[in-house]
Structure 1
Amino acid sequence: MIDNLDQAILDALLLNARTSYAEIAKQHGVSPATIHVRVEKMRQQGIITGAKLTVNPRALGFDVCCFIGITLARAGDYPSALKQLQALPEVVEAHYTTGQYSVFIKVFVKSIDDLQHLLIEKIQPIDEIQATETLISLQQPILRDISVAQ
Structure 2
Amino acid sequence: MMDLDEIDRGFLRALERDAQISAGALGRQFGLSQPAAWRRLKRLREAGVIAGARLDLDRAALGFGVTVFLGVKLATKGRVSLEDFERAVCAIPEVQTVEHVLGMYDYRLRVAARDLSDFERVLRRRIMTLPGVGNVEANVMLSEERRPGPI
TM-score range, shorter chain: over 0.9
**Amino acid paired to 2:43:** K
Tell me which residue corresponds to 1:58. 60
**Sequence identity (%):** 27
> Is contact 1:124–1:131 with CA below 8 Å preserved after alignment?
no
Match of 1:113 among 109, 114, 117: 117
> Is contact 2:73–2:105 with CA below 8 Å preserved after alignment?
yes
For each residue in 1:72-109, what CA deviation from the matched residue of structure 2 results, as whole angstroms up to 9, or x when unmatched? 02334311111110110000000001000001100000
Q: Distance in 1 between matches of 2:92 and 2:127?
A: 9
Q: Does structure 1 residue 130 correspond to structure 2 residue 134?
A: yes
**Amino acid paired to 1:38:** R
Number of aligned residue pairs: give it: 147
Q: Which structure features the higher share of helix residues?
A: 1
Tell me which residue corresponds to 1:16. 18
Deviation at 1:54, TM superposition (A): 1.2
Q: Distance in 1 between matches of 2:112 and 2:25?
A: 36
> Is contact 1:84–1:126 with CA below 8 Å preserved after alignment?
yes
Structure 2 length-normalised TM: 0.92
> Is contact 1:73–1:130 with CA below 8 Å preserved after alignment?
yes
Q: Distance in 1 between matches of 2:30 and 2:130?
A: 53
In structure 1, the gaps of 5 or more residues are: none
Q: Distance in 2 between matches of 1:127 and 1:17?
A: 37
Tell me which residue corresponds to 1:101. 105
> Is contact 1:70–1:101 with CA below 8 Å preserved after alignment?
yes
For each residue in 1:49-76, what CA deviation from the matched residue of structure 2 results, as whole angstroms up to 9, or x when unmatched? 1112111000001000000000002334
In structure 2, the gaps of 5 or more residues are: none
Tell me which residue corresponds to 1:48. 50
Runs of 4+ in 1 over 2 A off after TM superposition: 74-77
> Is contact 2:77–2:132 with CA below 8 Å preserved after alignment?
no
